[in-house]
Amino acid sequence: MSYATVEAGVLATIRLHASYPSSGSNSRAQDYNILSAASPRCVVVVPGPVERAVVAAPRRVQSFWTVYIDLFVPMRTQRSTQHTNFVAERDTLLAHLDAYPTLNGTAGVINAWVVGVDDPVVWVGSRSASYMSARVRMMVEERENITIAET
């Protein structure tokens, strides 16, 4: 498996939710240009670190892929109301991801879970657009058999 497979699985799982259409109009991989869309919410999925361990030497490897999901909600109301709206969006996203512990059957995924969410911050983008944003950290576990090339 590769990060590309994990990333595609995360995006496909997010897009199962009604707030994130399959067209990708408000959810993308490594593309912050979607913030220029007039969407009430956006997510950008970006790669994080990977940790690996041999679990059955020498051919079985376990990988823990970290996927960052940057959640953005445009600042369109009073700050106190905005924070309440953002927390609701965040909680909806977390509950949705929790419901798909194998990323809806993504090949090779044993388990996927949200391990943390940063505190929300105000993010100012191009054209003076402001967003409340937080980074969601997701861990995806997979195991794979590897082919040994040495003789």
The DSSP result for 34-78, as a single string, is GGGS--S-EEEEEEEEEEEEEEETTTEEEEEEEEEEEEEEE--S-
Q: What is the pLDDT of residues 69-85, one digit of tens each?
A: 999 999 887 777 888 99
Is the whole model's pTM more than 0.75, yes or no? yes
3-state secondary structure (DSSP) of residue 150: coil
pLDDT recorded at residue 128: 67
